[in-house]
Structures are given as structure tokens and as C-alpha cells.
Amino acid sequence: MKKVVKFGGSSLASAEQFRKAGSIIRNDSARRYVIPSAPGKRNPDDTKVTDMLYQCYKQAILDDDREQDFEEILAQIKQRYDEIIRGLNLELSLEEEFKVIRENFCKKIGRDYAASRGEYLNGIIMAAYLGYTFIDAAEVICFNESGEFAAELTNNTMTARLEDIDCAVIPGFYGALPDGKVKTFSRGGSDVTGSIVSRAVQADIYENWTDVSGFLIADPRIIPNARTIDVITYRELRELSYMGATVLHEDAIFPVKKAGIPINIRNTNRPEDKGTLIVEATCQKPRFVITGVTGKKDFASVTVEKAMMNSEVGFCKKVLEVFEKNGVSIEHMPSGIDTMTIVVHQDEFQEKEQKVIAGIHRAVEPDFLELESDIALVAVVGRGMKATRGTSGRIFSALSHANVNVKMIDQGSSELNIIIGVRNHDFEEAIKAIYDIFVTTQL
């Protein structure tokens, strides 16, 4: 059994957190490849080391009279690492590393290099703490000349490098361009590194340790004691993330999905919790009909009506082209026989609305055109909905009992999700009503 374990910033923010991560790793000898993030926040008012590094580099590249700030921030960063090292009673000094970093900052070596030092240094500490081999991600994560991630080259390089190494620490978040220059993924990118390593070593599972026990069925700000999702498929996750649920970097799915490796989201502060398992497919019956309910506020809709519109070839295309020409992206598009409704982000649409209206008039000469604003979209997602009769009936009766007026319904043909448009001010009520009918009443 081989496990890749990635620890997020809050899981490695202090010596105390490092100890928790260490005992999780030592508890299971299959946890052989460790991907650390940079130290994150120790409390809500704290600053992540990655942000301190960006700030420090910004000062470093300013004129000389600002150098004072640069030295000060660099010293603060060093102090954070020294505290961790001291707290772990390690015989390790980062003195030399910081000398090199300082020189490189002065040479204005690049913003990505600067940010990457957060995980690089944490990786050195983690390797020393565990007695694992340290592998610089710049040697095994490859980007091409245009700065895109080189998936196959990385996979081959990483596989070859790790072949004879039983236990290793590989810092997250960065790799290198062909000329050796450090390049990072986008923020939160250590998740991506964990996924890439999992594919390269053909791990049985990719454990992603963070500060929550997985994905929740609904936003805890709306449902205070929302339950955790036990198992979710990649497709369901995509639907939920698109509508606002975030725990994992979007690009972290692809490498493991390609290799059929499940991801387990776990909580470093509550290792006894099973967390959420993300899989490609499963025969396991979900506990509840819905996997999750989420959504977003502040959409606007444009309804275009024209008699006999469905027999007019190219009608929809002409309408959509107007949005395209004005650079407005479309979120949803429910349609009727003589109407089509285009749902867009309100803030993006507002400044262009008159141009779009004029464009639609010119393009299709509609009988009637109506705009509505302050719409919220609620997404009910669940692979279990397909096999359960009456799901939409239950949703709509729950909403009507809660006095929520449904403005729009859009069910994907996969039967994996139902999107419901409601007024912004009904959003929370709608989520509560749906959660209650499918979860609370089933407990």
C-alpha cells in the first residue's frame, strides 16, 4: 500500500501542527510521500508565509531606500521557521538557505522563486523531522517554455526519480521551466503537486490533509451543523465547486482522475474523522438522495420571447452571439417553446446591458424582452437523484412550504443536478428547505 499525503498551510503553521502531521504520517507506514505547503495562518489575524514572501520580494525589487523593509520581513519569515525548528527540537539550521534566498532576492530572481521558498523550506524541515529524503520540486515538476505544466515529462521524471526512494518529502506549489527558473502553480497549488506525485508513484490513495473534515453537504454559514459528504464523485464535485464549494484546487483533480486514484480530504486536527472520499465512480448507495446543495447570488436573466421562435433556424445562435460579441459569459440557458432565458452574472452584465438589448433587437427582432436582476441560483447535486423518483417534486414542495418563489428550473440531462433560480433574499431559506427535506428529516 502506498499513500501520498499532502498537508495544507494551517496543518504546518507551527511546531504543534507539525507534530500532529508527524504523528499522522508515523501512524501508517503506507504514508511514504509527503507534500508540504508553506506555513499558513496560526490564527485568523496571522499572515501566511507565502504572502509574507510576496510582500518581501515586492520590497526587494523596489529602490534601495526601501531595502530596510525587505530585511525586516525576511527576518520575520526566518523567525517563523526558526520557531518551528526549535519547537520540534531539531538540529537544523536554515542560516545558509536564508543567505542564498537573500542574495537571490537582491538579484531580483523572480516572484515565483520568492513564493516557492515557503514550501521549499518547510519541505527541508519536514524531511529532517521525519527522516525522509528531501527532493526539490524544481527537479521533478516540469513546465514547458511557455510556462504550461508539462504533465507527461513530469510524470516520467518523477517516476524515475522516486523509483528507488521509499520515503520522500517533495515541497508543493512549484516546479521549474526548462532553463531551471522556478515557476509556481496558481495559489493553493500544493494540492496539484500532491495529485501529480500520486499519479507518478501510482499511489493507492491521495490523502489531502487540511483543517476541515471534508466537504459539507451545505455551507455551514447557512446550515450550522451541516453534515460531511462521505463519498463524492469527481463530476459531482465539479458541479458543487462551480457553484462555490472550495476545499481543493481545481487542477488537482486531473492527474489522479487520469490514474483512477481516489482523493481523501482529511482533517489534521481531527484525524479520527474519515473525511470525504472523492472517487471516479461508486456503486455505494449514497446515504442521502442529494450529495450537496450550494449556490450563488447575484445573477441577472434576459428573457427573449418571439412567436414561432423554435422553427426559426439559428435563432438561439444569433442571440448568443450578441452576448459573445459583448464579452458576457453565459451561466445557464433554460428555454421554452417561444422563449429563451439567458442567465448571466449581474455585475459583468450591468455595464453592457443596453448594448446587449440593442444587439438582440437587431439580431432577432423579438416580440418581447424582459430583464430580471437579483437572482440566486441554487444547485442541488447528487448521483442518487437519477435512481430516486419524485426528487424534483420533493424539492419544489419543500420550497413552496418555505414560501420561496421558484423563478427558474434547469435540470441537466445527466440528472446529476437541478439548478433552481430564486430571488436573492430567498437564497438561504431555499438552501435550508432543501437540506431539511433530504437530510435533517432522514436522520
List contacts with ligand ASP (CB under 6 A): 9, 37-38, 48, 50, 118, 172-173, 187-191
Residue 252 or 363 with smaller CB distance to ligand ASP: 252
Q: How many residues make up the chain in this entry?
A: 443
Set of cell numbers at residue 227: 453534515
Exposure on the CB side of residue 418, measured as CA atoms within 13 A? 22
Residue 53 or 399 with smaller CB distance to ligand ASP: 53
| Least CB distance to ligand ASP at residue 282 (A) | 27
For residue 439, give the nearest of 268, 224, 220, 218 by alpha carbon.
Answer: 218
| Least CB distance to ligand ASP at residue 307 (A) | 53
Q: Give the helix ranges, DSSP H, for 370-422.
A: 391-401
Exposure on the CB side of residue 242, measured as CA atoms within 13 A? 15
| Least CB distance to ligand ASP at residue 301 (A) | 35
Residue 172 or 292 with smaller CB distance to ligand ASP: 172
- DSSP-derived letter for residue 108 is T
Set of cell numbers at residue 87: 519547537
Q: E strands along 274-364, which residues?
A: 276-279, 292-305, 330-332, 339-345
Q: E strands along 251-319, which residues?
A: 263-267, 276-279, 292-305
Contact 407, 423 (CB under 8 A): yes
Exposure on the CB side of residue 420, measured as CA atoms within 13 A? 27
Residue 122 or 346 with smaller CB distance to ligand ASP: 122
Place of cell 465547486: 241
| Least CB distance to ligand ASP at residue 85 (A) | 19
The C-alpha atoms of residue 356 and residue 420 are separated, in whole angstroms, by 24
| Least CB distance to ligand ASP at residue 188 (A) | 4
Residue 278 or 290 with smaller CB distance to ligand ASP: 278
The C-alpha atoms of residue 253 and residue 238 are separated, in whole angstroms, by 9
| Least CB distance to ligand ASP at residue 116 (A) | 9
Residue 38 or 340 with smaller CB distance to ligand ASP: 38
| Least CB distance to ligand ASP at residue 173 (A) | 4
Residue 9 or 384 with smaller CB distance to ligand ASP: 9
By beta carbon distance, the residue nearest ligand ASP is 190
